Amino acid sequence: MGILDKIQEIEHEISRTQKNKATEYHLGLLKAKIAKLRQQLLEPTGKAGQKGEGFDVMKSGDARVALIGFPSVGKSTLLNTLTSTHSESASYEFTTLTCIPGVVEYNGANIQLLDLPGIIEGAAQGKGRGRQVIAVARTADLIVIMLDATKGEIQRQLLEKELEQVGIRLNTRKPNIYFKQKKGGGVSFNAMVPLTKCNERMVQLILHEYKIFNAEVLFREDCTSDDFVDVILGNRVYMPCLYVYNKIDQISIEEVDRLARQPHTVVVSCNMKMNLDFLLDSVWEHLALLRVYTKKRGEKPDFEGGLILRQGATVEHVCHVIHRTIAQAFKYALVWGQSTKYNPQRVGLSHLMADEDVIQIVKK
Ligand SMILES: Nc1nc2c(ncn2[C@@H]2O[C@H](COP(=O)(O)OP(=O)(O)OP(=O)(O)O)[C@@H](O)[C@H]2O)c(=O)[nH]1
Ligand SMILES: [K+]
Ligand SMILES: [Mg+2]
């Protein structure tokens, strides 16, 4: 039996036990047992903590959003407000101990929202359930960093640092550096632009540090030495991130205004249901999803059954979403919308789609 099952069993026993003088001692003991089990879950050395009990949640829907934040910032309250799932919320820290998935339907897309335990400083080293939380974060399409608007700016930096330490890069693209290890021939270094933050000597030193003596390096943009290290290590994930300040019902309007002006930031109050529409809008925008409507010849577009795709999707992607074999029978497509110069425009498989485009596929 896992720790979570044990906790559940004891919680059940508590709920069945009548509260009176005679059961006082028994109830106290049960609560102490729960506290001990919860502690075991939070300890990095605990076996349960290592295995990540309660964290393997199936991916579902069109995109996955992970809620990351310190304890009691309101992550579970947000899940409860936006989805039909219930996740326990309370004023004490570490109310949530596992990964709780919910689904938000927005613009015809099913977005999976994951409520997670709070993380604390040192999470990257395994404090609390930090490792498991971060492992889930890596599988998401968008990270929402939830912050308590009544607390200081330091929380944002601490969280960024924790994620940084485990190789998660927020709101940046992969550095445009070509890097290939070779069998021989030494290091060849080239740059396509003037470098202001790094130079050949620095690159040589870094390669030496990693015991790489033969490699081809080409800087295609003005990157830093940290960027170069990221490319060598290769195991970085580059993710969009949205900062959500909750509990704005507790701070002054001036303070709300100041927070809201930061990039990639949304201010909300989950308890008062304030600004949640704008939050969903921002989530959609950061996920960079596209809706594409199909149309049959001589018929109106199917605005009910829109297809959900990623930014960068081409006509070929649309074909694959409709049916595996369509791309083979493809002759051309007619597209109406923001991606075309005139409507309709006849396009090939490599044409890039835009949000709310209408497409009619003509087969051979
Ligand atoms: N004032 C105010 N309180 C809020 C708001 N949203 C949530 N809270 C309160 O904040 C407390 C913590 O909420 P939770 O949803 O449990 O927070 P959490 O981030 O899931 O916490 P853990 O699971 O312990 O990490 C609860 O007492 C909520 O009622 C809000 O918009 N304003
Ligand atoms: K809480
Ligand atoms: Mg919670």
Task: Please name the residues in contact with 276: beta carbons below 8 A apart, sequence gap of 6 or more.
Answer: 81, 82, 268, 270
Q: What is the DSSP secondary-structure string of 170-223?
A: ES-PPP-EEEEE-SSS-EEEEESS--SS--HHHHHHHHHHTT--SEEEEE-S--
Instruction: Measure the CA–CA gap between 129 and 39, rounded to whole angstroms.
Output: 10
**CA-to-CA separations, 189 to 173, 222, 269, 312, 339, in angstroms, rounded:** 22, 14, 52, 31, 39
Q: Whose CA is nearest to atom 27 of ligand 1?
A: 91
Q: Give the per-residue pLDDT at 279.
A: 98
- Is 291-363 the same fold as 63-172+238-286? no
Please tell me if the CB atom of residue 129 comes closer than 6 angstroms to any atom of ligand 1. Answer: no
249 in ligand 1 pocket by Cβ < 6 Å? yes
> Is the distance from the beta carbon of residue 74 to the nearest atom of ligand 1 less than 6 Å?
yes
Distance CA(100)–CA(127), nearest Å, equals 20
Q: Is 72 in the pocket of ligand 1 (CB under 6 A)?
A: yes
Sign (positive/negative) of CA torsion 201, 232, 134, 256?
Answer: positive
ipTM above 0.90, yes or no: yes
Q: At which residue do the structure tokens 């485009």 appear?
A: 357
Identify the residue whose tokens are 């304030």.
274
Q: Is 75 in the pocket of ligand 1 (CB under 6 A)?
A: yes
Distance CA 171, CA 168 (A): 10
Q: Give the residue, out of 68, 72, 248, with the most ligand 1 atoms within 8 A of its beta carbon, to mutate for a pocket test.
A: 72
Q: What is the pLDDT of residue 337?
A: 96
Phi-psi region of 338 (alpha: psi -120 to 50; beta: other; left: phi over 0): alpha
Given CATH 3.10.20.30, say whether it is the number of domain 291-363: yes
Ligand 1 binding pocket includes 77 (Cβ within 6 Å) = yes
Distance CA 172, CA 237 (A): 10
**From the CA of 270, which ligand is nearest?**
1
Question: How is residue 75 written in tokens?
Answer: 């992550």
What are the residues whose beta carbon lies below 5 Å from ligand 3 (ion)?
75-76, 95-96
Is the C-beta atom of 247 inside 6 A of ligand 1?
A: yes
Residue with tokens 């290290």: 229
Instruction: Read off the pTM.
Output: 0.85
Q: Please tell me whether residue 14 adopts helix, strand or coil conformation.
A: helix
Query: Rounded CA gap, 31 and 13, in Å?
Result: 10
> Do 156 and 220 form a contact (C-beta atoms < 8 A)?
no
Question: Which of the 8 DSSP states describes residue 132?
Answer: H
Q: What is the pLDDT along the chain (364 residues), one digit of tens a residue?
A: 788 889 889 999 999 999 888 888 888 888 888 877 877 777 655 454 455 678 888 888 999 999 999 999 999 999 999 999 999 999 998 999 999 999 999 999 999 999 999 998 888 777 888 888 998 999 999 999 999 999 988 999 999 988 988 889 999 999 999 999 999 999 999 999 999 999 998 899 889 888 999 999 999 999 998 899 889 988 889 999 999 999 999 999 999 999 999 999 999 999 999 999 999 999 999 999 999 999 999 999 999 889 999 999 999 999 999 988 898 999 999 999 999 999 999 999 999 999 999 999 999 9
Q: How far is the CA of 239 from the centre of ligand 2 (A)?
A: 26
State if residue 270 touches ligand 1 by the CB under 6 angstroms criterion: yes
Q: Report how far ligand 2's centroid is from the alpha carbon of 137 (Å).
A: 19
What does the domain layout of the chain look like in residue ranges? 3-42, 63-172+238-286, 177-235, 291-363
Laid out side by side, the sheet with 177-181 consists of: 177-181, 215-219, 187-191
For residue 223, is it left (φ>0), alpha (ψ between -120 and 50) or beta? beta
- DSSP alpha helix (H) spans, the chain: 3-16, 24-42, 47-51, 75-82, 130-138, 154-165, 200-209, 225-233, 253-260, 276-287, 315-322, 326-329
> What Cα–Cα distance (Å) separates residue 22 from each residue in 14, 25, 28, 29, 31?
14, 7, 11, 13, 16
Q: How far apart are CA 264 and CA 345, in angstroms?
A: 35
Q: What is the pLDDT of residue 49?
A: 45
Angle at 267 between CA 117 and CA 71, to 5 degrees: 20
Give the span between the Cα atoms of 330 and 84, in whole angstroms: 41
From ligand 2's centre to the CA of 168, what distance in Å? Answer: 25
> What's the pLDDT score for residue 3?
82
In the CATH hierarchy, which top-level class contains the domain 63-172+238-286?
Answer: alpha beta
